[in-house]
Amino acid sequence: MNLLRIELRKVLPYRTFWFILGIYALLMVLILYASSHITVNGTDLGTTAFTLPELWQRLTYVASYFNLLLGVLIIILVSDEYSFRTIRQQVIDGLSRQDVVMAKFFVVLTLAITSTVFLLVIGLYFGLVHGTNHSLSAIFSQSDFLLYYLVQAVAYMSLALLVSFFLRKSGLSIIAFIAYAKIIEPIIHFNVPDTLDKYMPMKVFNSLTPMPGQEILDQLTMPTELLSPAWAVLPSLLYIGLLLLLSFYTLKLRDI
């Protein structure tokens, strides 16, 4: 808690921090609001799209795209500390390098929990206002997708944390982070059998929030082999631990 308090004292007054979180929240609300006012063939799409419990999978799938934004936020926070030599000063003041990494990871956890709670709140609002099923069983059924999203958000930001410790520069780190997540690893997937590439980091992370109706799409196109969300949790946690370990050794072995 002491490490988290130290980080929050630096982060909370930072305008860029609130600006990026504001973009995240605003875009999510706008997407849901716009979806609730679309009519197709005389049918209100919001009534179908926001029906509980199916809403939780749809909501977390949409939110998964904005994990890149949370990762960019982590990169900016860490790279700014390199620019202003804050990390170096913390080590001089008595924090170990492991403490520095864990302090940043506590920020990652805080952001992931906050974004998950935010999804819970807006999901309940749109589900109860526009949905047709308001029973408790509908509300809590499939709500485990929120937990899967929580793990996914931590995983994305842990990857961003490693990239920012390794490259230090915000612009280069953001490019490398997005390039690996959306270009480099997907290219590798084309050259690796599905039985193996389904265990690669980004594919494991993305398996936590599968696209709704993926099984229907697989019947029309070549199916993509993915882990189920429940089975993707353990390898995701292992990857998170590995990313933290690599972040620590990166900070330990390099001059700050």
Q: pLDDT band at residue 201, thresholds of 50, 70 and 90?
A: very high
Asked if pLDDT for residue 91 goes beyond 70, the answer is yes
Q: What is the pLDDT averaged over residues 250-255?
A: 86
Predicted local confidence at residue 174, as pLDDT: 96
Q: What is the model's pLDDT at position 142?
A: 87
Q: How many CA atoms lie within 13 A of 40 on its CB side?
A: 7
Q: Are strands 43-44 and 39-40 parallel, antiparallel or unpaired?
A: antiparallel
Residues counted in the chain:
256
Rounded to an integer, what distance in angstroms lies between the CA atom of residue 81 and that of residue 107? 14
Residue 34, class by beta-carbon neighbours within 10 Å (0-12 exposed, 13-18 middle, 19+ buried)?
Answer: exposed
Question: Residue 191 — pLDDT band, cuts 50, 70, 90?
Answer: confident
Q: What are phi and psi of 255, to 5 degrees?
A: -70, 135
Q: pLDDT above 70 covers what percent of the chain?
A: 91
Does pLDDT of 42 surpass 60? Answer: no
Q: Quick one: DSSP state of residue 44?
A: E
Maximum CA extent, the chain: 66
Kindly tell me if the per-residue pLDDT of 231 is higher than 90.
Answer: yes
DSSP characters over 92-115? HTT--HHHHHHHHHHHHHHHHHHH
Q: pLDDT tens for residues 127-159?
A: 888 777 778 887 888 889 999 999 999 999 999
DSSP conformational letter for 184? I
Average pLDDT over residues 98-119: 95
The pLDDT value given to residue 95? 86
Higher per-residue pLDDT: 46 or 122: 122
Asked whether residue 41 carries a pLDDT value surpassing 90, the answer given is no
- 217 pLDDT higher than 60: no
Is residue 46 scored above 90 in pLDDT? no
Ordered by start, the domain boundaries in the chain are 2-190+234-253
Segment 111-130, tens digit of pLDDT: 999 999 999 999 999 888 87
pLDDT confidence of residue 52:
85
The amino acid occupying position 93 is D
- Give the model's confidence band at 45: pLDDT under 50 very low, under 70 low, under 90 confident, else very high: low
